[in-house]
Chains A and B, each alone.
Chain A
Amino acid sequence: MMDELLEQFLIEGRELVQQASDDLLALESQPSDPGRIDSAFRAVHTLKGSVALFDLAPMGKMLHCAEDMLGAVRAGHLPVTHVIIGTLLDCVTASDSWIESIERTGHLPADAAARSRSLQAAMASYLGEADYDNEARMSDAAPAWLSALIDCHHEAVTAARSAGDEITALRYVPSKDCFFLGDDPVALIRSIPALIALDIAEQEDWVIEQFNPFACNLYFEALCAMPIDKVRGIFRFVPDQTVIVNAGSKAVPAEPAGGGMSSDRTGDGAMRTLRVDAGRIDSLVDIVGELVVAKNGLAHLAQQAAATDAKLGRALAANQAKIDGLVGEMHRAIMSMRRVPLARTFQRFPRLMREIAGRLGKEISFKLVGEDVEADKSIIDSLFEPLLHILRNAADHGIEDVTGRRAAGKPPSGRITLEAMRGGDQIVIEVADDGAGIDLDKIRALAKTRSVKSESAIDALDDAAALELVFAPGFSTASAVTDMSGRGVGMDAVRTAIESMGGRVAVTSSRGVGSTVRMTLPQALVINTVITVYIGNERFGVPIDSVTETVRIAVDRIVPIRDGEAFVLRDRTIPLLRLSDLLGLARVERSGDVKLLIVISGEQRIGVEVGGFAERFDVLLRPLEGLLLGMRGVLGTAVLGDGHVLVVLNMAELIDERAFGG
């Protein structure tokens, strides 16, 4: 039970931190938005309530203080200033890092108590200045149903008050479909140990003739002689259906209150979403993956059958095609369940950017576009680190300091935009800044000092290729440029991360105008179409999305160039590499036409010679494990219909190895 509670706390805690942080940031630009003040207050208040269920005293005390401060802001006793918002944001940041620490280690970090004390002291200094009228604030907030409830049960209330008990009032309007979700509101009410009054009534008039026993039509109002946080603990799984307020000496709405529940919140339309443990969806993904493998086996069988009995073969093939379609549909349906909006990752950035800008002493206005674009959960989650790195780079290296910007005739505040767009099956994410742009001479010089490539190779690069140097391994890790950008991860790590998700990243830049990093990512992972290629008897898979075309050319069209080879395709000269060389396998004699995969490496097209192509497969790509882990040039393995294991190659990595490493 404790673990479940903690898990729930970690999920909700993050959401509340996020909410508070969004609201506070919005308040900075729109200080008079009462909705935002309310929302921030509620988020902090609810977070404080959840924190009280655990042994997290420093966090609880700090949040209590923050709540008081927001209460004072809400009551108009404190102005919304940059400093006050900053202090509150510090609390939110502290909460965020503490939640992270709780998730990792199970408890608050060692410095939590000290950090909490200093934040409390900072807040107390503002609160001291405020004329902070507790009574007035509380009576303003008391909802109408509460006074009716207390009036009706005033004897019980008086008795409990004189006994010195803290009284908490609860209004619980279960959603209509709560029985389907396994909720039993009466059982929850029953578990309140110190109930002093209970009213149960119908939400809508009973219809005896067409009575629907499966839709919950009850609501509950109760008073209990126990602290609010304990009551909230009992009802923590239905926070959206309850209003819990202190009915002792003061009353604070716990949830969007105002005057009780509006009916549309609890009506049929309200609870249309179901929170499902990601693990369960993942196990569905696994099953559908196995199904794909089984389905491929069927194709193989149909082929075998066709060899001996054409009629049976055709029937099997027709059947296989149908199953193929259904499996595809099922796969899409399950993958869509895993799709979440980018907001999940994006929302954390405004606060982080504010912090980064503050630390760098720069003025940065940060804009988010397209948070509602969706992609697979695993992609969204893995995007955080690379994006943070790119954003840090933009703030640190891209945006000039205020003097620099003035000199360049730009507004003092630098602009960074993080924008997501849909592009067919893919999502495109761009980080654009209006900073100084990338200095190619500097890039070339740095690449030379860090021996990314030989000096002559670097000099030979055209501008576009020189820009690509920022992604080269070893380019940005060699020396920590500043404490901000140089965390031991460079743009090469960004590229690796993006490519491991099946994406691509490129940078464009214009001196004095700014830079843009553009990432293209698939919306979903897991199933890849691969083309099988042969070298002698060996078979390999190459993801179809890394191949732009397959061509056959006559041997005599291949021209040797220095120690390499190239050929001309539609008036463009394309370098040729042999897959056998890339893989360190023995060369096979050329006979007849040469078969080539045209692949994109960076911005360049490259022809990779193979012994032959064979069929295309949909495969479930299994990441490398054990001894193979971290092997460059290999994306993963896939099990084919005939039971053989196919090694799926990462062409871009193989070519990079050859070009830069070898």
Chain B
Amino acid sequence: MSVLLEVERIVLRGNCSVEDAEPLVVLLQTHPDFEVDIGDTLHLHSAVLQVLLAFRPRLAGPSQDAFIQTWIVPLLTSVDGRLVPHPRPPCE
């Protein structure tokens, strides 16, 4: 279990596996305004990543994991509501 509920935020700690996706969905549905802390996240399973992409919560970071920080965070913090990969806007 890597999804933890803390005061006003949800913490994803260590390796988030496929089992963490459902609890995360429940937490985000009950607390849509909580931010999700990915500072200590080491890996986001695709199932967990797609929850974040779908619900688009505010993120607290930076992630200590280089892959997440370089490739995933930019996808999760794009602004226009729709998921847009980071360098893509000029093309569309």
- Interface residues in chain A, defined as those with a beta carbon under 8 Å from any beta carbon in chain B: 148, 151-153, 155, 174, 179, 183-187, 189-190, 195, 197-202, 206, 208, 211, 213-214, 216-218
- Interface residues in chain B, defined as those with a beta carbon under 8 Å from any beta carbon in chain A: 18, 21-22, 24-25, 43-47, 49-51, 53-55, 67, 71-72, 75, 83, 85, 87-88, 90-91
Of the candidates A184, A198, A201, which one forms a contact with B46 in the assembled complex, judged by CB atoms under 8 Å apart?
A184
Check B46 against A216 for contact (C-beta < 8 Å): yes
Of the candidates A174, A208, A214, A216, which one forms a contact with B54 in the assembled complex, judged by CB atoms under 8 Å apart?
A208
State the Cβ distance, B54 to closest chain A Cβ, in Å. Answer: 4
Residues from chain B with a CB closer than 8 A to the CB of A190 are 43, 67
Check B43 against A202 for contact (C-beta < 8 Å): no
State the Cβ distance, A406 to closest chain B Cβ, in Å. Answer: 67
Check B71 against A198 for contact (C-beta < 8 Å): yes
**Given the known A-B contacts A195-B71, A200-B75, are A213 and B51 also in contact in the complex, defined by CB atoms under 8 Å?**
yes
Of the candidates B25, B54, B55, which one forms a contact with A202 in the assembled complex, judged by CB atoms under 8 Å apart?
B54
Task: Kindly report which residue of chain A lies nearest to residue B84, judged by CB atoms.
Answer: A201
Of the candidates B18, B21, B54, B85, which one forms a contact with A199 in the assembled complex, judged by CB atoms under 8 Å apart?
B85
Q: Which of B46, B71, B72 has the most CB of A within 10 A?
A: B46
Decide if the interface of chain A is mainly helix, strand, loop or mixed.
mixed
**Interface pairs (13), CB distance under 8 Å:** A152-B87, A186-B45, A190-B43, A200-B83, A201-B83, A213-B24, A213-B25, A213-B50, A213-B51, A214-B47, A218-B46, A218-B50, A218-B53
Check A211 against B25 for contact (C-beta < 8 Å): yes
Check B47 against A152 for contact (C-beta < 8 Å): no
Check B21 against A213 for contact (C-beta < 8 Å): yes
Task: Kindly report which residue of chain B lies nearest to residue A183, judged by CB atoms.
Answer: B46
**Given the known A-B contacts A185-B46, A186-B44, A198-B85, are A214 and B21 also in contact in the complex, defined by CB atoms under 8 Å?**
yes
**Given the known A-B contacts A199-B85, A201-B83, A202-B54, are A218 and B71 also in contact in the complex, defined by CB atoms under 8 Å?**
no
Residues from chain A with a CB closer than 8 A to the CB of B91 are 148, 151-152
State the Cβ distance, B22 to closest chain A Cβ, in Å. Answer: 5
Decide if the interface of chain B is mainly helix, strand, loop or mixed.
helix
The 10 lowest CB-CB distance pairs between A and B, nearest first, are A199-B85, A213-B21, A206-B54, A186-B46, A185-B46, A152-B91, A198-B71, A152-B88, A213-B22, A184-B45
Task: Kindly report which residue of chain A lies nearest to residue B86, judged by CB atoms.
Answer: A199
Residues from chain A with a CB closer than 8 A to the CB of B45 are 184, 186-187
Check A202 against B21 for contact (C-beta < 8 Å): no
Check B21 against A200 for contact (C-beta < 8 Å): no
State the Cβ distance, B74 to closest chain A Cβ, in Å. Answer: 9
Instruction: Kindly state the separation between the CA atoms of A213 and B3 in the bound complex, as whole angstroms.
Output: 14
Check B43 against A216 for contact (C-beta < 8 Å): no
Instruction: Kindly state the separation between the CA atoms of A213 and B43 in the bound complex, as whole angstroms.
Output: 17
State the Cβ distance, A625 to closest chain B Cβ, in Å. Answer: 45
Instruction: Kindly state the separation between the CA atoms of A198 and B68 in the bound complex, as whole angstroms.
Output: 12
Task: Kindly report which residue of chain B lies nearest to residue A200, judged by CB atoms.
Answer: B75
Check B22 against A199 for contact (C-beta < 8 Å): no
Check A179 against B71 for contact (C-beta < 8 Å): no
Residues from chain A with a CB closer than 8 A to the CB of B44 are 186
Check A187 against B83 for contact (C-beta < 8 Å): no
Instruction: Kindly state the separation between the CA atoms of A185 and B44 in the bound complex, as whole angstroms.
Output: 10
Check B88 against A218 for contact (C-beta < 8 Å): no
Check A179 against B87 for contact (C-beta < 8 Å): no
- Beyond A187-B46, A213-B25, A216-B46, list 19 extra A-B contacts (CB 8 Å): A174-B46, A179-B18, A184-B18, A184-B45, A186-B43, A186-B49, A187-B43, A187-B45, A190-B67, A198-B85, A199-B75, A199-B88, A200-B75, A201-B83, A208-B55, A211-B55, A213-B22, A216-B47, A218-B46
Check B50 against A202 for contact (C-beta < 8 Å): yes
Of the candidates A151, A211, A214, A218, which one forms a contact with B49 in the assembled complex, judged by CB atoms under 8 Å apart?
A218
Instruction: Kindly state the separation between the CA atoms of A505 and B27 in the bound complex, as whole angstroms.
Output: 67
Residues from chain A with a CB closer than 8 A to the CB of B50 are 202, 213, 216-218
Instruction: Kindly state the separation between the CA atoms of A211 and B25 in the bound complex, as whole angstroms.
Output: 8
State the Cβ distance, B35 to closest chain A Cβ, in Å. Answer: 17
Instruction: Kindly state the separation between the CA atoms of A179 and B46 in the bound complex, as whole angstroms.
Output: 8
**Given the known A-B contacts A148-B91, A153-B87, A185-B46, are A211 and B51 also in contact in the complex, defined by CB atoms under 8 Å?**
yes
Residues from chain A with a CB closer than 8 A to the CB of B54 are 202, 206, 208, 211, 217
Residues from chain B with a CB closer than 8 A to the CB of A151 are 91
Residues from chain A with a CB closer than 8 A to the CB of B24 are 213
Instruction: Kindly state the separation between the CA atoms of A195 and B71 in the bound complex, as whole angstroms.
Output: 9
State the Cβ distance, A191 to closest chain B Cβ, in Å. Answer: 10
Residues from chain B with a CB closer than 8 A to the CB of A197 are 87
Check B47 against A213 for contact (C-beta < 8 Å): yes
